[in-house]
Structure 1
Amino acid sequence: MAESPLPLELQHRNRFPTLFEVLSRKTVAPLDLFSFYIYMRDQQRSVDYLDFWLDVSQHLQLCRLYVRRLHRSVIGDTPDMEKNSKRSSYILDNAGEGPSDEKGNTSDQRLSAFLRSDHGSRQHSPQNSQGSNQSHPSVRERPPRPSFMTLDTNSPGDSSSPGQDSSVDNVPRREDLRASAEKILYTYLLPGSEREIIIPQSILNEVQEAIEGQDQRSDPELFDAAKDYVFQAMERDAFPGFLQSKGLGNLVPQSMMIRLIIGLISFFGAVWTSFILIFLDKSRATRCWIILPFTFAIYFIFTHQYMLDPILALVGFSEYTLMDFNRMREPFVKRTLNKRSFTMLLMALLLDAAVCCLFIFVPGKRL
């Protein structure tokens, strides 16, 4: 199956992507969101932070879908002559839409402002805010999942054609927004929660008061401070390691450790064999066979040291998990790894030649 062509932006990007580009799915393998999720899960051991960020983004999409559906219902129920005179129609038409900065703050603020203004006539108590049982299972019944697999701007509830009636269950209600906000609070933020993440107490208190207090907010802006804190933490603590692991290398730690063990065993075996051949005064032609174990050993030790298998890189593959290889599609990563691979092979070849010459051309002496 032929791969889809890359966008021009990716083809001409002469740098590593930013964390926001990865989370926004503007990158491809091996620096895509799937690779970052695996890295956070298997190497950084802090995938809950990524899941929180993605679940908050999913909550934002749910709010946008709710406002969009509400807008359509207002347009459908308003006579044509009165549509232009209704201020609420204008607010709905612009909530969550329009230009925004890199993180979408401008449109998100309009969306949150509308949801707060619309909240006065839609009060819901925490006991009654269970939402749709099909689309929002409870926290205890729901196992941890990779949130990015379901994060989609084109929500299923918004995929129906204009002439087709969508199911009522696919239309988010105000109760669903509150249930989604509560789920995020009870899953990630409260002390002792199922997948608790560490954030400043002041941020936690603000979010908890906004959701459980008198305002009972469910707009996405209430998570902005926590989301920004988690984003900065991932950008500072996890993302540089991810770029080094997947942008400058193509091996996972388990594979690197196996290669180091095999390389060291091969190296000591090659040295031991070389001394045996020297002290048995074998001919130099016989001693030339030590080139094989030395080459094997040096190659594997270098792959561990540089986190890079040059042969795999030159044929365009990167390791996602142990012995699971996938093709690289990011052009800048391909160019970077190809340059590192040639340099690494040259260094390994020079070291291999020096070690082999030392043990081959040294005079033999039978003991």
Structure 2
Amino acid sequence: MYGEQTVRNRFPTLFEVLSRKTVAPLDLFSFYIYMRDQQRSVDYLDFWLDVSQHLQLCRLYVRRLHRSVIEDTPEADKNSKRSSYVLDNTGEGPSNEKGNVSDQRLSAFLRSDNGSRHHSPQNSQGSNQSNPTTPGPERHPRPSFMTLDTSSPNDSSSPGQHLSTDNQPRREDLRASAEKILYTYLLPGSEREIIIPQSILHDVQDHIEGPEQRSDPELFDQAKDYVFQAMERDAFPGFLQSKGLGNLVPQSMMIRLIIGLISFFGAFWAAFILIFLNKSRTTRCWLILPFTVGIYFVFTHQYMLDPILALLGFSEYTLMDFNKIREPFVRKTLNARSITMLLLFLIVDAAVCSLFIFVPGKRL
């Protein structure tokens, strides 16, 4: 993974961000904060993450089934078991090259298995648990990629939170997980409803609540693809512009704009007073301070970039919360933009200060 980060001479794709193949400031945590604070559509990202976790839960279930079959099967017959074949041909995640094919095999196996009572006890405490992946009212980022607040008891991204007390998934756990996704995100009027086409919603609802009572991950494929495309089209370009080409959050940019405009006003007011009082050029050199502060903060607002912080290797996650830039291509891009911006800032600052310092004074 780290080898790929060092050789990637481009911005990452949304799939790479969601697959946790990137680092700050284009990591999954940053994208979650962006979706929550700026895009105001974090429910779409939570849905995508919960469906991914449901897939991992299904894989854990098949692995448990595989181990149970192996333990109860004579050595000569182990290679003929279908669950062993499915497990051995299951991809390890969305980054796996065989992921789509293996996930289809996994879903086909879970549908045909139809909740075998031999390997899936009827009683499972996991099916009675509340949804562990649904954030509370404050919707804190998930602890799987978050480094700040982990105090909420409902926050977790581990599929194991759906499990029973023996830490092993049951068939009822898969169904409870699928139903929780449906009732939390998809049904009209649900707690965190996302907007998807009605045809996709009806298909998912029929598969879960209908006679099939499916819980395999493939039943969410259409909804997951739709949400992925929506995020890729509507949110991800803004995320790249905000974090790949800049290092400030909107609240910080607004504060800088206010400070810059106030400094500008004070600098112009002081400049005209000194000119019309016919003060010496040495005295007027003090105008460099307010003009420099005003121009610098206005530039940082316009470019969404603090060049000094960028050259030091820092990016702002939230207001006044700075973290190191670890993505090599982002670091190189921000350094180049920072140098260009500093040169332009120095030229404008020198021109404005020279104008008000060297202009002839006249006492009124």
Q: TM-score, normalised by structure 2?
A: 0.89
Alignment of 1:150-299 (within 5 A): 150-151=156-157, 169-299=166-296
- Please tell me whether residue 104 in structure 1 is matched to residue 99 in structure 2: yes
- 2:28 equivalent in structure 1: 33
Q: Which amino acid aligns with 1:132?
A: G
1:88 to 1:348, Cα distance in 2 relative to 1, 3 A = closer
Q: Percent sequence identity over matched residues?
A: 79
- 2:62 equivalent in structure 1: 67
1:62 to 1:98, Cα distance in 2 relative to 1, 3 A = closer
1:58 to 1:207, Cα distance in 2 relative to 1, 3 A = same
1:133 to 1:212, Cα distance in 2 relative to 1, 3 A = closer
In 2: Cα distance, 1:40 partner to 1:99 partner: 21
Moved more, 114-123 or 292-301: 114-123
Alignment of 1:42-61 (within 5 A): 42-61=37-56
In 2: Cα distance, 1:30 partner to 1:100 partner: 21
Moved more, 100-109 or 32-41: 100-109
1:280 to 1:14, Cα distance in 2 relative to 1, 3 A = same
Q: Which amino acid aligns with 1:255?
A: S
- 1:132 equivalent in structure 2: 126
1:58 to 1:157, Cα distance in 2 relative to 1, 3 A = closer
Number of residues of Structure 1 aligned to a counterpart in Structure 2: 348
Is the contact made by 2:245 and 2:330 (CA closer than 8 Å) also made in structure 1? yes
How far did 1:82 drift? Answer: 2.1
1:32 to 1:129, Cα distance in 2 relative to 1, 3 A = farther
Is the contact made by 1:67 and 1:95 (CA closer than 8 Å) also made in structure 2? no
Q: 1:267-323: per-residue Cα shift (whole Å, max 9, x none)?
A: 011001000000000111111110111001000000000000001001000000001
Structure 1 unaligned segments of length 5 or more: list them: 1-5, 159-166
Work out which of the residue numbers 290, 302, 313 in structure 2 matches 1:305.
Answer: 302
CA-atom RMSD in angstroms: 2.6
In 1: Cα distance, 2:133 partner to 2:16 partner: 32
Q: TM-score, normalised by structure 1?
A: 0.88
In 2: Cα distance, 1:355 partner to 1:151 partner: 54
Is the contact made by 1:54 and 1:147 (CA closer than 8 Å) also made in structure 2? no
Q: 1:215-271: per-residue Cα shift (whole Å, max 9, x none)?
A: 000000000000000000000000000000000000000000000000000001100
Alignment of 1:312-351 (within 5 A): 312-351=309-348
1:323 to 1:115, Cα distance in 2 relative to 1, 3 A = same
In 2: Cα distance, 1:309 partner to 1:187 partner: 40
